[in-house]
């Protein structure tokens, strides 16, 4: 092996991101986590600090950072303000999908996203299907220079406040995966309506249902070739899964640090509870699991940076990390005793938020299908 760890620049960026999070995001983070909408000025602050454009090309005001550096940003923000980390993730995804579209659209949306002035959301799931994404029914039917969109989407993170959707629909409803096409859809087009879903976590960016009623979308907003949208989603979204793994790990790390501080101060039976091995061993075990899961995430991002295959590894991250995080946060809450079973402490919120990561962008079962398919072979798929 030659070299194992972060570069000097990446370590420096971690310190910068951490300082930003402490200075700009920590004040009011607990209150913001209960709001119905994530304040736009926070996105602007992240834009001003160069975070929203971390992965975007310099041509659009971005910094052209590698995936590992983006992962560092996502992890550090997640420790302090989960929705900030989610916003960073969505903006990184926008950069990926916009490699396919016209220069005009990139100037309009990517340049605005970099400044924190345009928030993007991913719109795939429908009421009747989530895991089986090829079964979507929303239609985008070509009519001259437009597509006419009809259908219903749901569970859209940040859908109520999003400006633009990275959107999957069937251009050929008679086909399965081969009928899916990917679009960019401005969410202020006539014919689009929204309704908020009262989710148990992620409140400021909680799910929305989006309804499309004869929406006319100009053809230049198509991001994939017709019928190639499913493969675009599958191929290009692998890094997204790693970011969605690092966020719960950030929540877990913050909870573990809270638990360590609390255990040093709280006394029971005449001594700090940190002296009891029933407490300290839990801390040691969770620190080990978190570190192992982080290494898997960063190795996967490193593979992506090298242009090497990383689909299996990103699926491994995506099922493992929320489980590791949930267990760590649960025990961190128990170490705090009754006080953390209250909204006064951020841990109950982190626990509810972490469950969301067990679903978003594919459940553990779907991730294991991907891993097993690579390990055992496509011919042993169940369908
Ligand atoms: C917090 C949160 C945020 C989300 N954000 C977005 C978003 O921004 N955009 C978006 O489009 N969607 C979003 N989703 C939706 C998410 O992608 C879906 O919830 C997920 O893909 C699962 O789909 P489903 O909920 O319809 O469950 P289903 O597909 O109905 O599955 C139900 C259960 O059956 C299991 N199952 C299904 N198929 C198999 C199989 N072949 N083998 C074994 N088990 C199986 C699943 O693992 C699951 O436990 C979000 C969801 C949550 C909870």
> Which structural domains are found in the chain, ordered by start?
8-118 (1.10.540.10), 122-227 (2.40.110.10), 237-380 (1.20.140.10)
How far is ligand 1, taken at its centre, from the CA of residue 367, in Å? 11
Task: Give the model confidence (pLDDT) of 35-84 as tens digits.
Answer: 999 999 999 999 999 999 898 889 888 899 999 999 999 999 999 999 99
Span from the CA of 379 to the centroid of ligand 1 (angstroms): 24
Distance 131 CA to ligand 1 centre (A): 5
Mean pLDDT of 317-341: 98
What residues contact residue 23 under an 8 Å CB cut-off, 6+ apart? none
From 314-318, 328-332, 374-378, the region with the lowest mean pLDDT = 374-378
Q: Mind giving me the DSSP string for 292-348? A: HHHHHHHHHHHHHHTT---HHHHHHHHHHHHHHHHHHHHHHHHHTGGGGSSTTSSHH
Among protein residues, the one whose CA lies closest to atom 51 of ligand 1: 360
Residue 322 near ligand 1, beta carbon < 6 Å: no
Query: Which tens digits make up the pLDDT trace of 268-320?
Result: 999 999 999 999 999 999 999 999 999 999 999 999 999 999 999 999 999 99
Contact 55, 89 (CB under 8 A): no
* Tokens (6 digits) for 269: 């039976």
Q: Is the pLDDT of residue 383 over 90?
A: no
Q: Is 345 left (phi over 0), alpha (psi -120 to 50) or beta?
A: beta
pLDDT digits (tens, 9 = 90+) for 94-114: 877 777 788 899 888 988 999
C-beta 368 within 6 A of ligand 1: no
**Pocket test residue of 89, 130, 165 for ligand 1, highest count of atoms within 8 A of CB:** 130
Q: How far is the CA of 359 from the centre of ligand 1 (A)?
A: 5
Picking from 215, 360, 295, the residue whose alpha carbon sits closest to that of residue 6 is: 295
The chain-wide mean pLDDT, for the chain, equals: 94
pTM over 0.95: yes
Nearest CA to ligand 1 atom 6: 156
pLDDT at 1 over 70: no
- Give CA–CA dist 168/53, Å, rounded: 24
Provide φ and ψ at 147, rounded to 5°. Answer: -110, 140
- Among 244, 360, 364, say which to mutate for ligand 1: greatest number of ligand atoms within 8 Å of CB: 360
Pocket mutation for ligand 1, best pick of 91, 119, 126, 155 (most atoms within 8 Å of C-beta):
155
Confidence class for position 237, pLDDT limits 50, 70, 90:
confident
156 lines ligand 1 (CB under 6 A): yes
- Nearest ligand 1 atom, CA 202: 1
What DSSP designation does 145 have? T
pLDDT over 90, % of the chain = 85
Label residue 191 left, alpha or beta by phi (over 0 means left) and psi (-120 to 50 means alpha).
left
Instruction: Report the alpha-carbon distance of residue 246 to residue 258 in Å, rounded.
Output: 18
360 close to ligand 1 (CB < 6 Angstrom) = yes
Model confidence band, residue 231 (pLDDT cutoffs 50, 70, 90): confident
Ligand 1 atom at minimal distance to the Cα of residue 168: 11
Task: Name the residue with higher pLDDT: 129 or 97.
Answer: 129
The CA 20 to ligand 1 mean position distance, Å, reads: 33
């Amino acid at each position: 092996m030659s070299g194992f760890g972060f570069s000097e620049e990446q370590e420096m960026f971690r310190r910068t991101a951490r300082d930003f999070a402490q200075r700009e995001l920590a004040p009011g983070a607990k209150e913001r986590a209960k709001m119905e909408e994530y304040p736009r000025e926070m996105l602007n602050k992240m834009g001003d600090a160069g975070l929203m454009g971390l992965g975007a090309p310099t041509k659009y005001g971005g910094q052209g950072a590698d995936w590992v550096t983006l992962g560092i940003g996502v992890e550090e923000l997640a420790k302090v303000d989960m929705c900030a980390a989610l916003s960073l993730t969505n903006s990184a995804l926008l950069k990926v999908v916009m490699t396919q579209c016209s220069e005009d659209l990139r100037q309009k949306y990517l340049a605005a996203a970099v400044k924190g002035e345009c928030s993007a959301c991913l719109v795939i799931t429908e009421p009747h299907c989530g895991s089986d994404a090829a079964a979507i029914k929303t239609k985008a039917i070509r009519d001259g220079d437009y597509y006419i969109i009809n259908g219903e989407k749901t569970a859209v993170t940040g859908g109520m406040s999003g400006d633009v959707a990275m959107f999957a629909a069937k251009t050929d409803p008679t086909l399965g995966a081969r009928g899916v096409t990917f679009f960019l859809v401005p969410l202020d087009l006539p014919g689009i309506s929204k309704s908020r879903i009262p989710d148990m976590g992620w409140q400021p960016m909680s799910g929305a249902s989006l309804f499309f009623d004869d929406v006319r979308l100009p053809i230049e907003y198509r991001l994939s070739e017709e019928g190639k949208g499913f493969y675009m989603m599958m191929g290009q979204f692998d890094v997204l899964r790693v970011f969605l793994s690092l966020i719960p790990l950030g929540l877990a790390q913050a909870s573990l640090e809270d638990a360590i501080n609390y255990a040093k101060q709280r006394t029971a039976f005449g001594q700090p509870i940190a002296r009891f091995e029933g407490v300290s061993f839990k801390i040691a075990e969770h620190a080990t699991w978190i570190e192992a899961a982080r290494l898997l995430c960063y190795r996967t991002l490193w593979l992506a940076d090298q242009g090497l295959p990383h689909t299996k590894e990103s699926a491994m991250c995506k099922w493992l990390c929320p489980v590791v995080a949930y267990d760590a946060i649960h025990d961190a809450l128990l170490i705090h005793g009754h006080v953390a079973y209250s909204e006064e402490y951020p841990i109950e919120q982190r626990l509810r938020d972490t469950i969301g990561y067990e679903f978003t962008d594919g459940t553990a079962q779907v991730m294991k299908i991907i891993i097993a398919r690579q390990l055992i072979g496509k011919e042993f798929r169940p369908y």
